[in-house]
Amino acid sequence: MVNLSVNLCGLRLDNPVIPASGCFGYGKEFSVFYDINMLGSFSFKGTTLSPRFGNPTPRIAETPGGMLNAVGLQNPGVEHVIAHELPEMKQYFHKPVIANVSGFSIEEYVKTCELLDAQEQVGLLEVNISCPNVHGGGMAFGTSADSAAAVTKAVKAVTKKPVFVKLSPNVTDIVSIAKACEDAGADGLSLINTLLGMRIDLKTRRPILANTMGGLSGPAVFPVALRMVYQVYKAVKIPLMGMGGVSSARDVIEMMLAGATAVQVGAANLVNPYACKEIIEQLPAEMEKYKINSLEEIIGGAHS
């Protein structure tokens, strides 16, 4: 009998498969398709201090091997999430969840994280300093080691639960930023967020996305994500959640060999609502195929 469980900063997960923020909402829509309690956990919709309508439409564009999105952190705001979404979530998900937080100033990150840290259902915080689809926030903090460290330090000062910082791939040296976050007290790192891209409509000769550019996700980004997880694992001592184009049980195993303790699945959920369910169900057979008894034993295995 193979062992799928992993320990993520003290959280014992039944398996390492976690739907990524922005691709799973608050889990309610997916709970209609299958019992989402089979998931290791899930990272709920990116939350900001104040409600956000998001970017103008069109904000989704198809592309070979993936998709572009410029949703722009649409969410009802942290107070609404605490008052309505989390209580409703209790009815259909009975494990600790991951709270994904974005902000437009260090003060916003601090306040939002402080409020969510106090919620019983929240197992850990995922601080998104890497969203490429908003102006003046998100990725603005994630492209500088100093800014990334400043957000991390400020959030850690007001929280008790583990803090994972979500890193941007849109940088020249992700390792230096990862190390800065670790030095500032991060308990773990999530990587990667989407790669900045765009498409042009040949008929109108204008960008398809109203925001001009958006974040590229899907299978096309998997090799980039895998490379960055591998690089960061070698440089830090804190656990990683790997993501970016993961769409199969084999991808999960690759990510873990590169250094991920847990693996998030994003765009695949938008193509197939059963994606995470199928990956979890297929993991034991893939493990047996490659003579893997326990997933925890293979974390960072590609380095030895």
pLDDT at 139: 55
Catalytic residue among 113, 131, 181, 276: 131
pLDDT at 133: 52
pLDDT bracket for residue 18 (50, 70, 90):
very high
End-to-end C-alpha distance for the chain, whole angstroms: 25
What value does the mean pLDDT of the chain take?
Answer: 95
pLDDT at 59: 96
pLDDT bracket for residue 192 (50, 70, 90):
very high
140 has pLDDT over 80: no
pLDDT at 130: 75
- Mean pLDDT over 182-208 rounds to 97
- Mean pLDDT over 51-71 rounds to 95
Q: Which stretches within the chain are classed as H helix? A: 28-31, 78-80, 86-89, 106-117, 139-142, 145-156, 174-183, 222-235, 249-258, 268-271, 275-289
pLDDT bracket for residue 60 (50, 70, 90):
very high
Q: In the chain, what are the domains?
A: 6-303 (3.20.20.70)
255: number of CA atoms within 13 Å, CB side? 30
Q: Are 109 and 154 in contact (CB under 8 A)?
A: yes
CB atoms within 10 A of CB 302: 15
94 has pLDDT over 60: yes
Q: pLDDT over 70 for what percent of the chain?
A: 97
Our answer to whether residue 131 is catalytic in this structure is yes
226 has pLDDT over 60: yes
